[in-house]
Amino acid sequence: MTGMAPVNLPSGGDLVASRPGGALHRPTISDIAARAGVSKAAVSYALNGRPGVSPTTQARVLAIAEELGWTASRAAKILSGARVDVVGLVVARPARTLGLEPFFMAFISGIELELSSHGIALMLQLVVDHAAEIEAYRRWQGARQVDGVVVVDLFEEEDRLAPLQDMQLPFVVVGDARNDPDVTSVWTDEAAGMTQISEYLAGIGHRRIGRVSGLSKFRHTAQRTAALHAVAERLSLDELVLQSDYSGEDSSRATRSLLALAEPPTAIIYDSDVMAVAGLSVATEMGIDVPGDLSVVAWDDSVLCSITHPQITALSHDAMAYGAHVARRLLAVLDGASPASHPVTPHLLIPRGSTSPPGGKPRVPRRSSSGHALLR
C-alpha cells in the first residue's frame, strides 16, 4: 500500500492511521505524552488510574486527554488488560416467552440504565440451555469481550457458578444464593411473597387455592411452592399446583385443567402477569365469573394487570430498581468488593377487582396513610 504510514498501536491507546497532507487523525498516547512532557508509560498509568505517577501528573494527563478528545480503542484496552466497559447477560429462555414478560424487560432496562450512567454497555444473548450459556461465558472471557456477567434464573441444582469461578469471570447472581458464601447475590424473598398472597386469600375465605407455576427447576419456583405448601398446612387449605412454561398458551392449558376439576379451586395464583392475563381470559371463555366464582392473583405487577377487566390483584415489585441494584453490585464486584448477599425491598400485594371472598362481592381496595393497600 502506498501513501499511508504504518498503523501503530500505542500502549493502551487508539489505533492510529496517519495520512499525508495534514489529514486529521485520532489522538494517541504519543500525542498526549508529547503535550504533557512525560513518557508514554506515564500516560498509560495516568489514564488507567494505576500507581506510578503523581496526582499532579495524572491530573495534567487527564486534562490534556480530554482536550484532545482521546478515547482508548477496544483492541488497545484488551491488550493492556484494562476494562472493556461491557457487562454480559445470558438468558436461557425461549425468545417467544422472554419478549412478552414486562418484568424481564423492566429488569433489563434497570440494568442498562445504571450501567449507561457509568459509560458501560450491556451485551445480551439468548441461548437454549445452561451448556450453551457456559459456552458463551467461556467465549466472552477468552476474547475479553466483557468485564463481568449477571447470572439469572438459578436452578435448584445450579451448575453455572463453579465454571464461572474457575474461569475467574466476575459475576453477580440474581436470586437467593445465601448458601454459597463465595458468591455475591441480589435477591427477593420469594417465600415471603407467596406467604403474603396465600394468607390474603385465606383471610377472605378461600380454602381451595390453585397455582399455575413456572418451571419447577428454577429455585424461585421451588421456594414459592414450598411457601404455599407451608401456609396450606398451617391453615388447613387445599392446594393444587400445575406447572407451565411461562407462556400464555401453557398457562391457559393449566387453567383449563384446574377449572375442569370436580372441585375446582376458588382462587388461582399465577407466577407472572402474562400468565394471569391468560388465565383470566380462559375463565371468561368458560363462563366463570371473576371474582364471584374465581379469584385471580398475579406475581409481578405491571400495566397488564391494570388494563384487564376486572383489574388483577398482583404482587408488586419495582423491577427497574431491582435491575439497577444488580448492576451496582456487579460494578462493586469489579472494583474488588467481597462476596455478599443483598436482599432487596419486599414485594407488596396490591388488591384489585379480580379477588373477593368465594361467591361474594369484591372488596374495594383503599389506601392507608402510608400508601399501603388495605381492604374494606
- Domains of the chain, by residue range, sit at 1-82, 86-188+320-343, 190-316+348-375
β 313-316/348-350 pair status: antiparallel
How distant, in Å, are the alpha carbons of 87, 120, 170, 197, 345 from that of 331?
Answer: 9, 10, 10, 34, 20
Predicted local confidence at residue 77, as pLDDT: 54
- The DSSP 8-state label assigned to residue 218 in this structure reads B
Only one residue has cell 499525508, namely: 20
Select 1-82's CATH number: 3.40.50.20, 1.10.260.40, 1.10.760.10, 3.20.20.120. 1.10.260.40
Predicted local confidence at residue 213, as pLDDT: 97
Predicted local confidence at residue 95, as pLDDT: 80
- What's the one-letter identity of residue 265? P
From CA 345, how far away is CA 323, in angstroms rounded? 12
113's CB contacts (< 8 A; 6+ apart) are 320, 323, 324
Predicted local confidence at residue 376, as pLDDT: 32
Q: Which residues of the chain have pLDDT under 50?
A: 1-23, 75, 78-79, 362-376
How distant, in Å, are the alpha carbons of 143, 212, 290, 311 from that of 266?
Answer: 55, 13, 10, 17
How is domain 86-188+320-343 classified at the CATH fold level?
Rossmann fold (3.40.50)
Predicted local confidence at residue 25, as pLDDT: 62
- What's the one-letter identity of residue 281? S
The cell for 240 is: 393444587
| 1-82 and 86-188+320-343 have identical folds | no
β 267-270/295-299 pair status: parallel
Give the side-chain half-sphere CA count within 13 A for 182.
7
The domain 190-316+348-375 belongs to what CATH superfamily?
A: Response regulator (3.40.50.2300)
The DSSP secondary structure of 239-288, one letter per residue, reads EEEEE--SSHHHHHHHHHHHHTSSS--SEEEESSHHHHHHHHHHHHHTT-
Residue 92, SS3 per DSSP: coil
From CA 148, how far away is CA 118, in angstroms rounded? 14
- The DSSP 8-state label assigned to residue 289 in this structure reads -
- What is the 3-state composition of the chain as percent helix, strand, coil, each rounded to the nearest 5? 40, 15, 45
Predicted local confidence at residue 208, as pLDDT: 98
CB atoms within 10 A of CB 340: 13
The cell for 166 is: 474457575
How distant, in Å, are the alpha carbons of 30, 64, 73, 210 from that of 26?
Answer: 11, 14, 10, 64
Predicted local confidence at residue 71, as pLDDT: 67
pTM of the predicted model as reported, rounded to 2 decimal places: 0.76
Q: pLDDT digits over 215-259, tens only?
A: 999 999 999 999 999 999 999 999 999 999 999 999 999 999 999
Predicted local confidence at residue 81, as pLDDT: 56
Q: Quick one: which H or E segment has residue 151?
A: strand 148-151
| Pure H helices in the chain | 29-36, 40-47, 55-68, 74-80, 95-98, 102-116, 130-142, 161-166, 190-203, 219-235, 248-259, 273-285, 303-306, 319-334
Predicted local confidence at residue 143, as pLDDT: 85
